Amino acid sequence: MRLRAGVDLGGTKIQVVIVDDEHSVVGEARRPTPTSGGPEAVAEQIVQAVREAAATADVEPSELVGIGAGSPGAVDARAGTVAHARNLTGWEGVFPLGPTLTEAIGPPVHLANDVDVALDAELALGAAKPYSSIIGVWWGTGVGGGIILDGKRWDGRGAAGEIGHTVVRLNGAHCPCGRRGCLEAYAGRAAMETRARRLAKRKRTSLFAIMEKRGRTQLTSGVWAQALEEEDALALALLERAVAALGAGVASAVNLLDVEAVVIGGGLGTRLGQAYTERVSAAMAPHLFVPENPPAVHTAALGDLGGALGAALLVLDRGANTKAPPRQARASSSSR
Amino acid sequence: MRLRAGVDLGGTKIQVVIVDDEHSVVGEARRPTPTSGGPEAVAEQIVQAVREAAATADVEPSELVGIGAGSPGAVDARAGTVAHARNLTGWEGVFPLGPTLTEAIGPPVHLANDVDVALDAELALGAAKPYSSIIGVWWGTGVGGGIILDGKRWDGRGAAGEIGHTVVRLNGAHCPCGRRGCLEAYAGRAAMETRARRLAKRKRTSLFAIMEKRGRTQLTSGVWAQALEEEDALALALLERAVAALGAGVASAVNLLDVEAVVIGGGLGTRLGQAYTERVSAAMAPHLFVPENPPAVHTAALGDLGGALGAALLVLDRGANTKAPPRQARASSSSR
């Protein structure tokens, strides 16, 4: 049995899966992402998580055919390095994640951008499977994206897919990226939290009470989802604003590329699920240039495991990925 | 000598070129587009213009290898029909332009969308030649666009390239397309004229005096250019607004596709030339997600003849064009 590992390195958690030739998950582990100790501590935690997942699959880590890892930041697949992973504490410089993991575990390691691998997984195994042209919208801490054209990822000069930095309002809200009016400034979870904290000074909201009850220090997707269930007015208003921005930004991308399908994933996209996918689709409608022929709009089908499953695909796809140019820094748009 | 004709069918004029195997212009004619008589009158005027151009090239029209024509509206290349060419008076339905021209002149006729052929000409012969990934922005009556990826046009499901209908301001200005906040609502010449007429009631401007002096009934690109030379405050302000919208909309498209180059053509783009191309490039800068690696930004190099030269290319490219799916109606975004 040829088993592969897939690692999804996120800002809050490290998710590992062990999969077989049929992409079935035969082992799994999840650990919190260390918030101190820099890239070395993160790498060590990944090593532990891979070992733990391998144990649940009853395989020696050294016997894995390969390990794929999706990471935020600027990934250089050829060199096996990750730089500027600003969502991860103390990861500003260039760190040789691939070689470090190979040295500790044994098998070859293949790296790629986290949003790219999640979209690749949806294309190979999930909601994007029936389509050959797709815009992926990874709605989470930021709003990341990916483009599939003619069945292949379109990387441009290495930095394509930044749908989160579509300007939806000239001179509009300040974006975590430092610019103004970006889609992410309205729909990214980080930007929404900043606004919620400001508005909470003069509006009633249960968002922060829910956060504390869950033992969180940030408004996670789960916190937002629960606030919506409780019909918290501020949460509803901020999500309405996010949906309006997503509708305009994604429709603009559709007007430009006229793709067959849009797949909405990421922490918030997955957590809020079909109901919000439908709301985004409805918010796109008034902006579509050919409204009688809208693209299909789907929620990412692989849920929380999409990133890790996509990372495991990197092991199969080694040739293609070692040829890929280094991806530009895109930490601010990471969806985790 | 194998000569071809290229026809650029615009809202105000019909431009015809006769070219040789080296794409050199050996004959030329220009006629106003009829404003009454519907598609039949337009077709008859094209026939006269082709005959006139052929005469200047000393060739019998029936001896032309083929005739290419770029048209606004929904072009069905296979059927040779044009529908919904709303920029042309009385052209709401489907008209068999190709067969009509072939019957009158003789040679086979190849049709395509006007913005597409103009961008193809820039790719084959003009400013886009050194690049394989390009966003074309056709800035005129509307704001049309085209996408070249891996050296080939990306049509999506037939309607790609509508950069003019990128939402640059949620709930913003009314666009001639009926939607709100589109780039074209700020930068399209038609929208700019509507606003100029409204503002002229309370602001001084020489725009309409220049228009009348030139014997025009609309604010043509030449009128705008002259008003800028005269430093007309209203013209300057409206163009500044247009440039800001172009900067945001084009930068958003670059963030999504990370192309090598942007080519700015169309009536206004060509007329205002390098100075305004540089202003658009400067207006893009604050919105680029990877500002240290901006795309090259060029003015379309073929000027006024680009559309006709590109149409003549259709004759060479016959196989590719007959395979193309019918292009969706895009009259409101036509750049002429």
A73 Cβ under 8 Å from any chain B Cβ? no
The residue-averaged pLDDT of A50-59 equals 98
Question: Are B176 and B236 members of one domain?
Answer: yes
pLDDT at residue B331, rounded to an integer: 40
pLDDT at residue B322, rounded to an integer: 39
Q: What is the residue-averaged pLDDT of chain A?
A: 92
pLDDT at residue A73, rounded to an integer: 85
Inter-chain residue contact B170 with A244, CB threshold 8 Å: yes
- B chain contacts of residue A252, beta-carbon cutoff 8 Å: 165-167, 249, 252
Distance from CA of B83 to the nearest CA of A (A): 15
What residue in A sits closest to B333 (Cα-Cα)? A289
- B chain contacts of residue A257, beta-carbon cutoff 8 Å: 147, 154, 156, 160, 256
Question: Are B168 and B276 members of one domain?
Answer: yes
Question: Are B33 and B160 members of one domain?
Answer: no
Is A279 among the domain residues? yes
Question: Are A187 and A278 members of one domain?
Answer: yes
Mutation site, A116, A134, A148, A167, interface B, largest B CB count within 10 A: A167
Query: With left for phi above 0 and alpha for psi between -120 and 50, is residue B134 left, alpha or beta?
Result: beta
Is B294 among the domain residues? yes
Is A123 among the domain residues? no
Instruction: State the Cα torsion B217-B221-B225-B228 to the nearest 10°.
Output: 70
Is B82 among the domain residues? yes
A:B CB pairs within 8 Å: 138
The pLDDT tens digits for A71-89 are 988 899 999 999 988 778 7
Q: Which tokens in the block code for residue B64?
A: 């032309």
- B chain contacts of residue A244, beta-carbon cutoff 8 Å: 170
The residue-averaged pLDDT of B294-320 equals 89
The pLDDT tens digits for B188-229 are 999 999 999 999 999 999 999 999 999 999 999 999 999 999
- Sheet with A66-71, side-by-side order of all strands: A25-32, A13-19, A4-9, A66-71, A109-113
Inter-chain residue contact B149 with A149, CB threshold 8 Å: yes
A291 Cβ under 8 Å from any chain B Cβ? no
The pLDDT tens digits for A293-308 are 999 999 999 988 999 9
Counted domains in chain B: 2
Q: Within 10 A of A265 (CB to CB), how many other CB atoms are there?
A: 34
Distance from CA of B207 to the nearest CA of A (A): 27
- B chain contacts of residue A147, beta-carbon cutoff 8 Å: 256-257
| DSSP string for residues in A166-206 | -BSBTT-SBPTTS-BSBHHHHHSHHHHHHHHHHHTTTS--S
- A chain contacts of residue B290, beta-carbon cutoff 8 Å: 159, 328-329
Q: What DSSP element (H or E) covers A283?
A: helix A266-284
Is B207 among the domain residues? yes
pLDDT at residue B318, rounded to an integer: 62
Inter-chain residue contact B157 with A245, CB threshold 8 Å: no
pLDDT at residue A278, rounded to an integer: 98
Question: Are A257 and A233 members of one domain?
Answer: yes
H-assigned helices in B6-161: 38-56, 97-105, 114-125
Range of the domain at A148: 129-301
A185 Cβ under 8 Å from any chain B Cβ? no
Mutation site, A132, A170, A183, A241, interface B, largest B CB count within 10 A: A170
Question: Are A105 and A216 members of one domain?
Answer: no
The residue-averaged pLDDT of A12-30 equals 95
Question: Are B143 and B290 members of one domain?
Answer: yes
Question: Are B50 and B105 members of one domain?
Answer: yes
C-alpha to C-alpha distances, B181 to A269, B185, B310, nearest whole angstrom:
26, 6, 31
CATH number of the domain within which B261 lies: 3.30.420.40
pLDDT at residue A334, rounded to an integer: 43
Is B187 among the domain residues? yes
Is B27 among the domain residues? yes
Question: Are A219 and A139 members of one domain?
Answer: yes
Which of residues 125 through 164 in chain A touch B, CB cutoff 8 A?
133, 145, 147, 149, 154-163
Question: Are A265 and A171 members of one domain?
Answer: yes
User: Which of A149, A181, A185, A143 lies closest to A164, judged by CA?
Assistant: A143
Is A124 among the domain residues? no
| DSSP string for residues in A112-161 | EEHHHHHHHHHHHHSTTTT-SSEEEEEESSSEEEEEEETTEE--TTTT--
- Residue A184: pLDDT band with limits 50, 70, 90: very high
Quick check: A30 and A13 in contact, CB under 8 A?
A: yes
| DSSP string for residues in B180-236 | BSBHHHHHSHHHHHHHHHHHTTTS--SHHHHHHHTT-SS--HHHHHHHHHTT-HHHH
Inter-chain residue contact A169 with B170, CB threshold 8 Å: yes
Question: Are B212 and B269 members of one domain?
Answer: yes
Question: Are B274 and B326 members of one domain?
Answer: no
The residue-averaged pLDDT of B28-43 equals 94
Share of chain B above pLDDT 90, in %: 86
Query: How far from chain centre, in Å, is Cα A265?
Result: 7
A294 Cβ under 8 Å from any chain B Cβ? no
The residue-averaged pLDDT of B53-78 equals 95
What residue in B sits closest to A172 (Cα-Cα)? B169
Closest CB to A159: pick one of B160, B180, B258. Answer: B258
